[in-house]
């Protein structure tokens, strides 16, 4: 069998280096023949039409990088971390084939993202009749697309068994039971330290022009496996702290900048207007239709539309006239927001999010991170695993997340009145 001039006689041929890809941050990335078979598909190439930071480029002009280069970067860092971990596990645990499957998981972890990435899942689909559907998350769609790519490749179908495919899928979308060290490489549900985060933090910093205090290669170089967990050197504690601090800073300054959030809700309105003619919501039920949905497709469809609402939204985006921001409230629930806004409630957009060191419902980000003491090796001939961070050594907040409520409106004529309501209750 052959692929683009490469003869494939057995599965080990898939591990051969096939080409080099040049991307910012990591410069030259060597990819295997197997990786090229995933990259050279319509599913993966589509990632070049999905901006990594969705609407951030409307405010931060450099934030035009895509999920394509982030996915290549995650593949690269997965290779670096796996190679380092193999020194402590041995090849009988992390052989070259298993290592490549982990790297492929890194390569494909975002392949199921919809147009404008997290806006699609977290706002658009979340407010649709399909919000509870299994296909409502990009992680599960990524799992389905991985299977689709393999099915369409004669070579991959021949040499990748069901167990290989399920392993890749479990790395992309791990269950709560998947807690061993291999599941802490690409998408780490145990403590959030994974190559996906390492790449996007540094890539976003590079393109936005904000310096990061986090050194991903230094952290990777210190990683070993103890008791089926990835453990880092005691000297890495400040670097790990910097990672979480940088994540919080990016959310506060960039990802949840009021202009970015305003533009996000404008994009949601655009997709809502286009939903009936394009079938955006129902595309999650049909992968062939879903892969047509990109940032470019949505924007071009808006520009070609004759609908008055879309003409207005297009003009607002082109003139950088975002929905006016009324107020941001941090750390309060505002359960009575409907009563507060009174007759203006239906004309306002209330955006509720969490911002902090961690995402979702996670508590202490340092709870499940372990370090080893380098001096133990010289004293005992082996490393011992200890809980991370003597909190007396760091300025660590008692609360790791903030609830953030932002209020916007598309109606310019009510802005002053609504701001006046909030001033009265301050």
Q: Which residues are catalytic?
A: 138
d(CA 229, CA 184): 8
Residues 6+ apart with CB under 8 A from 33: 3, 6, 8, 13, 14, 15, 16, 17, 18
Number of neighbours of residue 425 by Cβ within 10 angstroms: 8
DSSP code string of 297-329: HHHHHHHH---HHHHHHHHHHHTT-PPPEEEEE
3-state SS track over 120-135: HHHHHHHHCCCCCCHH
d(CA 237, CA 131): 39
Residues 6+ apart with CB under 8 A from 90: none
> Sign of the C-alpha dihedral, residues 47, 34, 288, 113?
negative
62 CB-contact burial (10 Å; exposed 0-12 / middle 13-18 / buried 19+): middle
DSSP secondary structure letter of residue 66? B
d(CA 65, CA 63): 6
Both tokens of 95, joined, read: 């052989």
């Amino acid at each position: 069998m052959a692929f683009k001039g490469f003869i494939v006689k057995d599965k080990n041929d898939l591990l051969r280096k096939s080409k080099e890809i040049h991307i910012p941050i990591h410069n030259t990335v060597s990819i295997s023949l197997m990786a090229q078979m995933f990259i050279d598909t319509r599913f993966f190439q589509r990632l070049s039409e999905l901006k990594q930071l969705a609407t951030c480029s409307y405010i931060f002009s450099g934030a035009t990088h895509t999920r394509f280069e982030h996915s290549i970067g995650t593949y690269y860092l997965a290779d670096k971390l796996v190679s380092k971990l193999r020194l402590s596990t041995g090849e009988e645990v992390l052989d070259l084939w298993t290592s490549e499957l982990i790297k492929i998981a890194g390569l494909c972890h975002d392949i199921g993202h919809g147009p404008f990435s997290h806006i699609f899942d977290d706002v658009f689909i979340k407010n649709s009749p399909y919000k509870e559907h299994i296909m409502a998350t990009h992680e599960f769609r990524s799992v389905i697309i991985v299977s689709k790519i393999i099915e369409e490749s004669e070579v991959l179908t021949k040499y990748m068994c069901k167990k290989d495919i399920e392993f890749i899928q479990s790395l992309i979308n791990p269950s709560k039971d998947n807690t061993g060290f291999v599941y802490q490489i690409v998408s780490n549900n145990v403590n959030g330290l994974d190559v996906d985060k390492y790449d996007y933090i540094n890539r976003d910093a590079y393109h936005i022009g904000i310096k990061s205090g986090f050194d991903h290669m230094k952290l990777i170089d210190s990683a070993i496996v103890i008791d089926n967990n990835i453990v880092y050197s005691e000297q890495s504690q400040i670097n790990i702290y910097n990672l979480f601090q940088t994540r919080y800073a990016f959310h506060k300054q960039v990802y949840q900048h009021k202009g970015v959030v305003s533009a996000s809700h404008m994009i949601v309105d655009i997709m809502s207007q286009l939903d009936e003619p394009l079938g955006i919501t129902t595309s999650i039920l049909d992968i062939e239709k879903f892969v047509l949905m990109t940032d470019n497709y949505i924007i071009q469809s808006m520009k070609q539309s004759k609908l008055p609402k879309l003409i207005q939204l297009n003009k607002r985006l082109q003139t950088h006239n975002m929905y006016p921001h009324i107020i941001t409230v941090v750390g309060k629930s505002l359960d009575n927001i409907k009563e507060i806004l009174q007759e203006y409630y239906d004309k306002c957009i209330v955006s509720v999010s969490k911002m902090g060191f961690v995402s979702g419902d996670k508590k202490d980000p340092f709870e499940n991170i372990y370090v080893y003491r380098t001096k133990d090796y010289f004293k005992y001939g082996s490393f011992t695993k200890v809980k991370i961070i003597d909190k007396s050594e760091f300025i660590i907040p008692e609360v790791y997340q903030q609830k953030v409520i932002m209020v916007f409106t598309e109606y310019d004529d009510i802005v002053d009145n609504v701001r006046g309501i909030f001033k009265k209750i301050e």
